[in-house]
Structure 1
């Protein structure tokens, strides 16, 4: 459980008071949710507390409703110092090849203060076990993960565990369960949002051994990658309808799910 408290806004597809009661019951049962507000009219749920936002999202989805994370921040009315997002949309070494069926992922970064960056990553469709997560030097995915360069390493040190030592781009491993779903939440004092925008993130086929004997922790080839882009933080993106297609957030989400099948 994190020691820092987060404030996360979710768009949740709700149509009646019964929906509100279902969502409320779920939130009351999650350890680390200090407070929450469920707004049926706005189809919005705001949660505060140290519970990982990715875990809350999964619990809400288990009610059978489409759930989208609008953004993250810090409680008590404080602002954040920057936010970014990475959508994994490239597979293998050929960027023209769409992600294989069922594979997808998203990483969010919120600089909750000058010292701490919250990293919340969710992936699905990968083989069970551990997969390495790394920020790479460039945002060039013209040849898939192969063209993203080395791990982001501005301090020019050896590979490591990503928390206390190693490349700043070393984020450790995400554990994927038997259903192909994995999530990872990190509080990093080394990663800064303003330093990683325009770079890329690569998810590897193997586990990162977190040792300094190789440059990549024996984590193997990349299997997912995407470019880190600036994004809105919590409460900065209130639209329910996509300006591009005119579809609601939930229609867009279901369409993407169908395309991934």
Structure 2
């Protein structure tokens, strides 16, 4: 998003913290952003809430660079009386090409979309259990997952351009998701091209390989970035907005989907 376009974001992050020293470190990171109007760091809840024109993707990266686990828990408008213009969610529940194939244990994914206003859509995507490295992320034109990702159609491309990055390529091109050595990865994007009302009912696919963003020499690069077959996919559905529904995975302990996923991952690593 151009620096000249100043929108007031409100973003809530779950940030790994253990002591007051962590709070001090995070405070120092956030104070370096002149375009953050207000922030709160809650040690007991391991929660950081930020308001201002600073891009959530940049804040997320800065917090991660401090060596902590960071998960976007909610996104919305700073002025809650304005509401938002729509929200959607995609739960990745199809693995590979066979929709009847059970998702392998430890693999999961969730994408959330919040239309802040008519111009800006905030997108955050989190996955667990994938191979380390970069994986392409795309919105496909169809919501048909009867044959897994194979029946989702082409990348969503209403303007008829070649494949590329999230700024110049297909409308459904979202670049790459980077997965760390523990199989955990996320992506935060602000988009002026994607509108929630245009993508509800379509599908989202994460690919096996890195997307070359249309810069490869082969013709395939102009089609799908040589990103290979899909490994996770799901249908984009209308949802409650950020802070309205934390999408609990377990009614017993009240953990959100990604709090639960992190616990699963930590247990697997420790064992």
**TM-score, with length taken from structure 1:** 0.77
Rounded Cα–Cα distance in structure 1 between residues aligned with 2:147 and 2:182: 29
Could you say which residue in structure 2 is the equivalent of 1:182? Answer: 185
Quick check: 1:92 aligned with 2:96? yes
Q: Deviations over 1:73-129 (max 9, x none)?
A: 121344221111112121111122222232222211111121111111222222222
Match of 2:162 among 139, 158, 167: 158
Matches within 5 A, 1:60-71: 62=68, 70-71=73-74
Give the superposition deviation at 1:40: 8.8
Rounded Cα–Cα distance in structure 1 between residues aligned with 2:249 and 2:183: 32
Quick check: 1:229 aligned with 2:229? no
* SS state at 1:110 partner: strand
Could you say which residue in structure 1 is the equivalent of 2:138? Answer: 134
The alignment covers a number of residue pairs equal to 251
Quick check: 1:121 aligned with 2:120? no
* SS state at 2:94 partner: coil
Quick check: 1:254 aligned with 2:260? yes
Give the superposition deviation at 1:9: 3.5
Give the superposition deviation at 1:13: 11
Could you say which residue in structure 2 is the equivalent of 1:111? Answer: 115
Q: Which moved more, 1:172-181 or 1:47-56?
A: 47-56
* SS state at 2:29 partner: coil
Name the CA shift for 1:252/1:160 in 2 (closer, same or farther; >3 Å): closer
Match of 1:47 among 50, 64, 80: 50
Give the superposition deviation at 1:243: 10
Could you say which residue in structure 1 is the equivalent of 2:75? Answer: 72
Is 1:209–1:217's contact at 8 Å kept on the other side of the alignment? yes
Q: Which moved more, 1:49-58 or 1:114-123?
A: 49-58
Rounded Cα–Cα distance in structure 1 between residues aligned with 2:2 and 2:24: 22
Match of 2:9 among 6, 23, 30: 6
Is 2:110–2:125's contact at 8 Å kept on the other side of the alignment? yes
Q: Deviations over 1:5-25 (max 9, x none)?
A: 5312457999xxx87x57744
Is 2:39–2:50's contact at 8 Å kept on the other side of the alignment? yes
Name the CA shift for 1:26/1:6 in 2 (closer, same or farther; >3 Å): farther
Gaps of 5+ in 1: none
